[in-house]
Chains A and B, each alone.
Chain A
């Protein structure tokens, strides 16, 4: 089903391409030795190179190059063994040299693809046009003083990857799925922390609308959207605006716009006529970047298993449903946790416990998998008790809650609370006989054909045995006497 927006003149399709700026994880900046870490007092992570002092020259940080290549490989993209740095010239107070070093004509990574999965299970492939490295600018602060602006250059020169998608996205949900998937891949690779609140990942959103079967119409670019939710909203808002313009007989102008989430609207930032002429040209301070295929191969060998591969392997290796596998690979740490629990155990049971009780518990306690109050080993220990029939599933829930509270091991809790499953046929038979005796009327009804009452008897027996009876044995004993 194609997503459309209904206008006065009928249904409109939307066309979206995303340019994602992702901060590269590295110790130092793209062209200087200054720290690239987030935070810090203003202007404390600034070298003379970052501040654009006379005679200072950029020196490329090889680790940033490795990170860009890893990302390219993770996006199943072509790695360009020769790329080049260009200067993008414009004046602004937080751009110390008056130009941003970027890769304009020859990016380090070419075409690739990202597979996304939608809520209804549909799988789509979003094309990647290119990935290039560039410097971030500093930060202008206009709210510190009534008359003056303040500049913080801590971010100036920090390495970014700009990841440009093809205009393959057709609805807000796909945009959201694409960004989540991209973020997941970057986090798996350890090349970007994907933290949109801190600005280490942000998106420029290109939106246009068209009638079915038409070529692309004029697009607008919404700059610097800093959450996935806002990206999805802004697409809808902007598409709706454009449809109104077209339907009122107007023309959509190619321009740069800003999304204002508080008013749920986009506003013009600058028109094409006012667009900067960036006067791109190759940076004469830097040689063309040439990388060896052997190095790329070595980086590829060092890549972690990527989420799609991991998901497919989980389905195959653990026999769990694709949906569960997708949930479990959402984060590397969750996948690792799951694998530790599942190893040598009932993998489906492990998946149910991780995605069910554990996620529930983490949600309730506001924790994440990395600081989970129950370790993978502890959860595995509990599952072992279930498998060897020391406890049954119901008791397991109680044990789990106790583990969450006390941090004790499952075995210790079972011991402490005397929760060991009763498999003594004598005890079970006695309990069965007792229940039958106290419910003679129900026994009659059952024997008269009211099969549904079987569950009632099971419940009564379990209750009588404080839940500790082996349910299979209870069933068996009941069947025998009934």
Chain B
């Protein structure tokens, strides 16, 4: 099998068995990036030279028999994670030349475990978007095609570059961040697995903030097991992030293939929403059947405040982002456009530095926090958020995990939904509630729709119970036997 088609788990054994070297493995990926990235635009920055150097070191480590979980494994890093000495842009003009002198905790953890970074993946600017079309570095193309249709599709967002890179074999896995669905929705659109851990599971230190109370890093890979391996490395308490939680990180891989007998799977009625495509509804039903067959008990549950999730999200997230992005003022780092006065400099810098979607969210956030509007918007949203969280807590009194669709539709074409921001926001309707509640959730590809595009189902678990997600996800994965690969990928390009 081609090196760009392997899972992380298989590649790790292959490296240990010296079937191939880390240099060969990494070179296969950097070559694939060189061949396909000009088209897919999955990476903003590629680091082939550094990656090959790191691969040589990995080979030394392997030779000494000191390999760690990810030694020699080529990964893509969402360009929202600060990487020491490697440009980190957040896909924004305002940071287009920003080279951080520090490493995010999540990427430091991956490096500690031997991972090799092949580049920084594209995303929606500051992670604000659902189609990876707001990047200042251009849109990412989904490597999947509709049957008989060459139209460029979106990879989803905001971790669209990561999803596309993993799907196309330009990385074995990639980091993502998820604020309202930014790991799960692109994973679903690109036919890969994406896991958003519980809020607080992975440190946010060194990850550029969009909405601090929601942002959470997570793995994106081609198998549930690979996500488990990556999460094992990424997760953990960090005293530099006050919101990271000091609780043990279990052995995630041990959850793969665990028996699901007697597991109670909740099906929330409210997710049978308008706009849910027939093919996704069918995939959902299929998922239910598979889990039943695996010994799960299917339970109907209600999450009554689901319908307020999106509206609440679009108050809380912009509010936080309006404050978080205030630091991009052209003074200490990043781009600066001079002005005659301080205010003129701010205005020119931020106008040139931020794209329209970022500006829109800053405006919304500034508005909802303003005197006289705070109570009506932000405060009310916080109250609704509490209710949404309570919905989940109550549901998890009855069931162990929830099964829902990840997104209402499969990937759409570039330009199809971009005119109406509200239409675009609806892509996150199923992913946002778990984000608002801080629950862990994961998207698993379960099949292809009528047009040949991958469909994903979402599992939502109890706080810090990523293991049940992985166990259930691996059951869905094996039942679905999802082995489809996109039209555009490294192996096919040869």
Chain B residue contacts of A89, Cβ below 8 A: 322-323, 326, 369
A53–B239 CB distance below 8 A: no
| Option from A54, A93, A286 in Cβ contact (under 8 Å) with B95 | A54
A98–B242 CB distance below 8 A: no
Chain B residue contacts of A285, Cβ below 8 A: 209, 212, 242-243
Q: Within the assembled complex, what's the spacing in Å between the Cα atoms of A286 and B326?
A: 18
Assess whether A97 is interfacial by the CB under 8 Å rule: yes
Assess whether B56 is interfacial by the CB under 8 Å rule: no
Q: Whose C-beta in chain A lies nearest to the C-beta of B204?
A: A57
Assess whether A121 is interfacial by the CB under 8 Å rule: no
A58–B323 CB distance below 8 A: no
Assess whether B333 is interfacial by the CB under 8 Å rule: yes
Chain B residue contacts of A87, Cβ below 8 A: 323
Assess whether A151 is interfacial by the CB under 8 Å rule: yes
Chain A residue contacts of B322, Cβ below 8 A: 89, 279
Assess whether A277 is interfacial by the CB under 8 Å rule: yes
Chain A residue contacts of B88, Cβ below 8 A: 54
Assess whether B100 is interfacial by the CB under 8 Å rule: yes
| Option from B240, B333, B343 in Cβ contact (under 8 Å) with A53 | B333
Q: Within the assembled complex, what's the spacing in Å between the Cα atoms of A238 and B308?
A: 52
Q: Whose C-beta in chain B lies nearest to the C-beta of A55?
A: B206
Query: Which residues between 276 and 302 of chain A lie within 8 Å of chain B, taking CB atoms?
Result: 277, 279-281, 284-287
**Nearest Cβ on chain A to B156's Cβ, whole angstroms:** 23
Chain B residue contacts of A99, Cβ below 8 A: 323, 326
Q: Within the assembled complex, what's the spacing in Å between the Cα atoms of A58 and B243?
A: 10
Q: Within the assembled complex, what's the spacing in Å between the Cα atoms of A277 and B323?
A: 13
Supposing A281-B369, A284-B212 touch, asked if A57 and B82 sit within 8 A by C-beta, the answer is no
B323–A52 CB distance below 8 A: no
| Option from A54, A93, A151, A287 in Cβ contact (under 8 Å) with B327 | A54
Supposing A55-B206, A284-B213 touch, asked if A97 and B326 sit within 8 A by C-beta, the answer is yes
B331–A93 CB distance below 8 A: yes
Q: Whose C-beta in chain B lies nearest to the C-beta of A31?
A: B242
Supposing A48-B102, A54-B208, A55-B207 touch, asked if A97 and B243 sit within 8 A by C-beta, the answer is no
Assess whether B396 is interfacial by the CB under 8 Å rule: no
A58–B329 CB distance below 8 A: no
Assess whether A385 is interfacial by the CB under 8 Å rule: no
| Option from A48, A91, A284 in Cβ contact (under 8 Å) with B329 | A91
Assess whether B471 is interfacial by the CB under 8 Å rule: no
Q: Within the assembled complex, what's the spacing in Å between the Cα atoms of A347 and B213?
A: 62
**Nearest Cβ on chain A to B394's Cβ, whole angstroms:** 24
B366–A57 CB distance below 8 A: no
Chain B residue contacts of A56, Cβ below 8 A: 205-206
Q: Within the assembled complex, what's the spacing in Å between the Cα atoms of A190 and B319?
A: 39
Q: Within the assembled complex, what's the spacing in Å between the Cα atoms of A97 and B322?
A: 11
Assess whether B172 is interfacial by the CB under 8 Å rule: no
Assess whether A59 is interfacial by the CB under 8 Å rule: yes
Q: Within the assembled complex, what's the spacing in Å between the Cα atoms of A59 and B238?
A: 11
B242–A57 CB distance below 8 A: yes
Assess whether B378 is interfacial by the CB under 8 Å rule: yes
Q: Within the assembled complex, what's the spacing in Å between the Cα atoms of A52 and B208?
A: 11
Q: Within the assembled complex, what's the spacing in Å between the Cα atoms of A87 and B212?
A: 13
Chain A residue contacts of B100, Cβ below 8 A: 53-55
Interface bits A34-61 vs B (CB < 8 Å: 1, else 0): 0000000000000010011111111110
Assess whether B43 is interfacial by the CB under 8 Å rule: no
**Max count, chain A CB within 10 A of own CB: residue among B239, B329, B342:** B329
Supposing A279-B369, A284-B213, A287-B243 touch, asked if A57 and B332 sit within 8 A by C-beta, the answer is no
Interface bits B69-100 vs A (CB < 8 Å: 1, else 0): 00000000000011000001010000100101
Supposing A87-B323, A281-B323, A285-B212 touch, asked if A59 and B242 sit within 8 A by C-beta, the answer is yes
B342–A55 CB distance below 8 A: no
B327–A96 CB distance below 8 A: yes
Assess whether B104 is interfacial by the CB under 8 Å rule: yes
Q: Within the assembled complex, what's the spacing in Å between the Cα atoms of A52 and B333?
A: 9
Count of A residues near B, CB < 8 Å?
30
| Option from A54, A149, A280 in Cβ contact (under 8 Å) with B90 | A54
B332–A52 CB distance below 8 A: yes
Chain A residue contacts of B81, Cβ below 8 A: 55
Assess whether B314 is interfacial by the CB under 8 Å rule: no
| Option from A52, A57, A92, A98 in Cβ contact (under 8 Å) with B240 | A57
**Nearest Cβ on chain A to B401's Cβ, whole angstroms:** 27
Query: Which residues between 231 and 289 of chain A lie within 8 Å of chain B, taking CB atoms?
Result: 277, 279-281, 284-287
Query: Which residues between 95 and 135 of chain B lie within 8 Å of chain A, taking CB atoms?
Result: 95, 98, 100-102, 104
A93–B342 CB distance below 8 A: yes
| Option from A52, A151, A281 in Cβ contact (under 8 Å) with B378 | A281
Assess whether B386 is interfacial by the CB under 8 Å rule: no
**Max count, chain A CB within 10 A of own CB: residue among B98, B104, B369:** B369
| Option from B240, B346, B371 in Cβ contact (under 8 Å) with A277 | B371
Query: Which residues between 202 and 260 of chain B lie within 8 Å of chain A, taking CB atoms?
Result: 204-209, 211-213, 239-243
| Option from B213, B332, B343, B369 in Cβ contact (under 8 Å) with A51 | B332
Assess whether B482 is interfacial by the CB under 8 Å rule: no
Supposing A284-B212, A284-B213 touch, asked if A54 and B369 sit within 8 A by C-beta, the answer is no
**Nearest Cβ on chain A to B318's Cβ, whole angstroms:** 12
Q: Within the assembled complex, what's the spacing in Å between the Cα atoms of A171 and B325?
A: 45
Chain A residue contacts of B213, Cβ below 8 A: 284
Assess whether B425 is interfacial by the CB under 8 Å rule: no
Assess whether B374 is interfacial by the CB under 8 Å rule: yes
Query: Which residues between 240 and 283 of chain B lie within 8 Å of chain A, taking CB atoms?
Result: 240-243
**Nearest Cβ on chain B to A394's Cβ, whole angstroms:** 67
Chain A residue contacts of B211, Cβ below 8 A: 284
Q: Within the assembled complex, what's the spacing in Å between the Cα atoms of A410 and B388?
A: 80
Chain A residue contacts of B98, Cβ below 8 A: 54
Q: Whose C-beta in chain B lies nearest to the C-beta of A149?
A: B342
Supposing A53-B100, A89-B326, A279-B323 touch, asked if A59 and B240 sit within 8 A by C-beta, the answer is yes
A97–B369 CB distance below 8 A: no
Assess whether B370 is interfacial by the CB under 8 Å rule: yes
**Nearest Cβ on chain B to A154's Cβ, whole angstroms:** 14
**Nearest Cβ on chain A to B74's Cβ, whole angstroms:** 23
Assess whether B335 is interfacial by the CB under 8 Å rule: no
Chain B residue contacts of A48, Cβ below 8 A: 101-102
Query: Which residues between 307 and 358 of chain B lie within 8 Å of chain A, taking CB atoms?
Result: 319-320, 322-323, 325-327, 329, 331-333, 342-343, 346
Chain B residue contacts of A281, Cβ below 8 A: 319-320, 323, 369, 374, 378
**Nearest Cβ on chain A to B390's Cβ, whole angstroms:** 18
| Option from B90, B327, B342, B343 in Cβ contact (under 8 Å) with A52 | B327
A98–B327 CB distance below 8 A: yes
| Option from B208, B239, B323 in Cβ contact (under 8 Å) with A55 | B208
Chain B residue contacts of A98, Cβ below 8 A: 323, 325-327, 329
A59–B329 CB distance below 8 A: no
B331–A55 CB distance below 8 A: no
Q: Within the assembled complex, what's the spacing in Å between the Cα atoms of A14 and B369?
A: 36
Q: Whose C-beta in chain B lies nearest to the C-beta of A49?
A: B240
**Nearest Cβ on chain B to A152's Cβ, whole angstroms:** 12
Supposing A93-B342, A277-B370 touch, asked if A55 and B82 sit within 8 A by C-beta, the answer is yes
**Max count, chain B CB within 10 A of own CB: residue among A48, A96, A151, A284:** A284
**Nearest Cβ on chain B to A295's Cβ, whole angstroms:** 18
Q: Within the assembled complex, what's the spacing in Å between the Cα atoms of A36 and B265?
A: 53
Q: Within the assembled complex, what's the spacing in Å between the Cα atoms of A124 and B239?
A: 46
Q: Within the assembled complex, what's the spacing in Å between the Cα atoms of A149 and B212?
A: 32
Q: Within the assembled complex, what's the spacing in Å between the Cα atoms of A59 and B343?
A: 30
Closest 6 CB pairs of A and B: A98-B326, A284-B213, A279-B369, A284-B212, A52-B327, A55-B206
**Apart from A51-B332, A59-B240, what 18 extra A-B contacts exist at CB < 8 Å?**
A52-B327, A54-B88, A54-B95, A54-B100, A54-B333, A55-B100, A55-B206, A57-B240, A57-B242, A59-B242, A91-B346, A93-B329, A93-B331, A98-B326, A279-B323, A281-B369, A285-B209, A286-B242
